[in-house]
A and B are shown apart, each in its own frame.
Chain A
Amino acid sequence: TQLLEQSPQFLSIQEGENLTVYCNSSSVFSSLQWYRQEPGEGPVLLVTVVTGGEVKKLKRLTFQFGDARKDSSLHITAAQPGDTGLYLCAGNNAGNMLTFGGGTRLMVKP
């Protein structure tokens, strides 16, 4: 069974601070996706990383896929209250399933 561990589970910070969320596994994934979910809504796809070492930027969000394609990180610069939500990483194996991490619940206080 492939497992993805996310850390931290909870993060409460002030507006303007930087933060990093980690997603780690002992398994290799063919690609990895990051989602953001707000209460009562479905996860929204933020980015897909495919190549080991790949870095993608989405405004103030920077996503990195580990060289060995076993881990990933999400860095948010100058967090804003609108960034509040549940961040989920999901690893895609060569088959059909996404394996989701447990999520990081982020709260950004104004």
Chain B
Amino acid sequence: DSGVTQTPKHLITATGQRVTLRCSPRSGDLSVYWYQQSLDQGLQFLIQYYNGEERAKGNILERFSAQQFPDLHSELNLSSLELGDSALYFCASSVAWASGRSNEQFFGPGTRLTVL
């Protein structure tokens, strides 16, 4: 158990809908990262928050957005869903956002999103 929690575990929805994925980081971690993992594209970095502020953006679509709340939990919002958005979505957390051991990222169990 990494200490990172994600809900829900599974999510099935229809095209065009909007969903919210939730993540609680490990106790004491200030950074939260979101990743998308699909069969054909591996693990893709989406976005990072540090202590409530956006720090880095990866290949995140405009239809997707995220935020980190004062209690440090984070939510990833996916809207206007398409079939191709079906994937595993992982949240990870780390103590800080610098390089080296302080950026060791610990992953949650993921949310499996299926868009029908």
In chain A, what residue has the closest Cβ to B109?
Answer: A42
Q: Give the Cβ gap from B76 to chain A, nearest Cβ, in Å.
A: 15
Q: Within 8 Å of chain A (Cβ to Cβ): is B84?
A: no
Total contacting residues, chain A, CB less than 8 A: 26
Given A40-B112, A42-B2, A43-B107, A95 contacting B101 (CB threshold 8 A):
no
One of A19-27, A44-52, A58-66, A75-83 at the interface: A44-52
30 A–B contacts from the bound complex (CB under 8 Å): A30-B99, A31-B101, A31-B103, A33-B105, A40-B88, A40-B112, A42-B4, A42-B90, A42-B92, A42-B107, A42-B110, A43-B90, A44-B107, A48-B100, A48-B101, A50-B100, A50-B101, A90-B105, A92-B103, A93-B99, A96-B50, A96-B56, A97-B48, A97-B56, A97-B58, A98-B33, A98-B45, A100-B42, A100-B45, A101-B42
B positions within 8 Å CB-CB of A: 2, 4, 31, 33, 42-45, 48, 50, 55-56, 58, 88, 90, 92, 97, 99-101, 103-110, 112
